[in-house]
Amino acid sequence: MKLNLSKKLIAATAGLMLIAAAPVAGFAEDTIKLGVVGPHSGDLASYGLPSVNAAKILAEQINAAGGINGKKIELLVEDTVCDAKTATDVATKLISDGAQIVLGGICSGSTKAALPIYKDSGILVMSPSATNPALTQSGDYDNFFRTIAPDDAQAQLDVDFALDKLGYTKIAVVHDKGDYGKGFAEFAKKFLEESGKAEVVLFEGVTPGAVDYSAIVQKIKKSGAEAVMFGGYHPEASKIVTMMKKKRLKADFISDDGVKDNTFIKVAGKFAESAYASGPTDTSSNPLNKAAVAAHKAEYNADPGAFYENAYSAVLAMANAVKVAGSTDLDALKKALQSEKVDTPVGTISFDERGDAIGVGFSVYQVQDGVFVELK
């Protein structure tokens, strides 16, 4: 509590000093100040700390090579604990400290809370992990970019796949009533309806753990669906595919990341064959990815944690944008991010006008002979 109070006090004082500090900021341009925000303590620290490591490793590398356009990178690491209030305080503090670009916002909620503050000061923010679709799609935050695919990207990918590659016109959307599964299913339904190419013949939730799903399978059969799009996790998915085959329902099964798990194949066995599931694109064979992981191992003697590659890529993309733009002016940076392709551990990426990375995301996998095979 004491710590919190003192932090708030610092933030408040920093806020007051902002007015005084602003004119001075123009002079001290000999370094590029990169703010690194995220949860660095508390329950979610394991999501935030790998990004700090990525920033440290890259800053060291870039500085050793002479910096960006002759300017060294200076890191300003701040802990937001993924709390909205703390995140706004941190934003105010970073601005007063002269941060020019920011890596982070790990959690969607606290990132969203702090974004208006960064926006008002014209600071570029790039998150390795905030997946809430509205962050980019609402159009409210033109200073926000991310190197991770938004939550609805999977639904979009699966819908495109079902409509364009498989050419279906009647699709049943089923979910497990949970936040993740239902969220996916609602996006899928929305995209299917918007496409105008297919009809959603059924939209229903099943009860997880029920002893038998034959009634819902019969209902899918009656609906005439050519494919079932399922939002949820593998235990229900394996029961449903098993029951579909047992009830002689010939419809394809398309699902999400929660199903793209080897347990699905192990449990559903031969019934899982030819099922589709989307999952993060496998980038582990990318040489840049291997180098990034090796750098982490050399520095910290441990495997990198969550979102490390995404954070690493974000820093690379931002560093490149600063180099190309020749300044940290938001408009110039945005132009550079959107036009320049950068090789990163998550692939060769650029950004669309909303701020989502093009080339990062999910792939569709199919179960073939008992393994998930990525479909190109």
Partner 1 sequence: MDYFIELLFSGLSRGAIYALIALGYTMVYGIIGLINFAHGEIYMIGAFTSFIIATILTILGFPGLAIILLAGLAAVIWSASYGYTIEKVAYKPLRHAPRLSALISAIGMSMFLQNYVLLAQTSDFLPFPQLVPDFDFMEPIAHIVGSSDMVILVTTTVVMICLTILIKYTKIGKAMRATSQDRTMAMLVGINVNRIISITFIIGSSLAAIGGMLVASHIGQINFYIGFIAGIKAFTAAVLGGIGSIPGAVLGSVVLGLTESFATGYVSSDYEDVFAFSLLVLILIFKPSGLLGKADTQKV
Task: Give the binding site for partner 1 (CB under 8 A).
Answer: 177, 204-207, 209-212, 214-216, 218-219, 221-222, 234-235, 238-239, 242-243, 246-249, 263, 266-269, 271
| Residue 328 identity | T
CB of 47 to partner 1, least distance (A): 23
For partner 1, give the closer residue by CB, 68 or 206: 206
CB of 111 to partner 1, least distance (A): 33
Residue 103: strand, helix, or coil: strand
Rounded to 5°, angle at Cα 208 from 190 and 229:
30
Strand 276-280, strand 362-368: pairing: antiparallel
User: SS3 breakdown of the chain: % helix, strand, coil, rounded to 5?
Assistant: 50, 20, 30
CB of 289 to partner 1, least distance (A): 29
**Alpha helices per DSSP H over the chain:** 2-21, 45-64, 84-97, 108-120, 134-137, 152-160, 179-195, 214-223, 234-246, 262-268, 287-300, 308-325, 330-339
The helix (H) or strand (E) run that includes residue 104 is strand 101-104
CB of 213 to partner 1, least distance (A): 8
For partner 1, give the closer residue by CB, 42 or 269: 269
CB of 175 to partner 1, least distance (A): 10
For partner 1, give the closer residue by CB, 38 or 235: 235
CB of 286 to partner 1, least distance (A): 30
CB of 162 to partner 1, least distance (A): 21
For partner 1, give the closer residue by CB, 168 or 271: 271
For partner 1, give the closer residue by CB, 25 or 249: 249
Kindly provide the b/e burial profile for residues 32-71, where b requires at least 16 CB atoms within 10 angstroms of the residue's own CB.
bbbbbbbbbeeebbebbbbbbbbbbbbbeebbeeebbeeb
Residue from 339, 366, 371, 343 nearest 353 by CA: 339
For partner 1, give the closer residue by CB, 21 or 267: 267
For partner 1, give the closer residue by CB, 13 or 218: 218
Instruction: Determine the Cα–Cα distance for residues 96 and 102; give it in Å rounded to an integer.
Output: 13
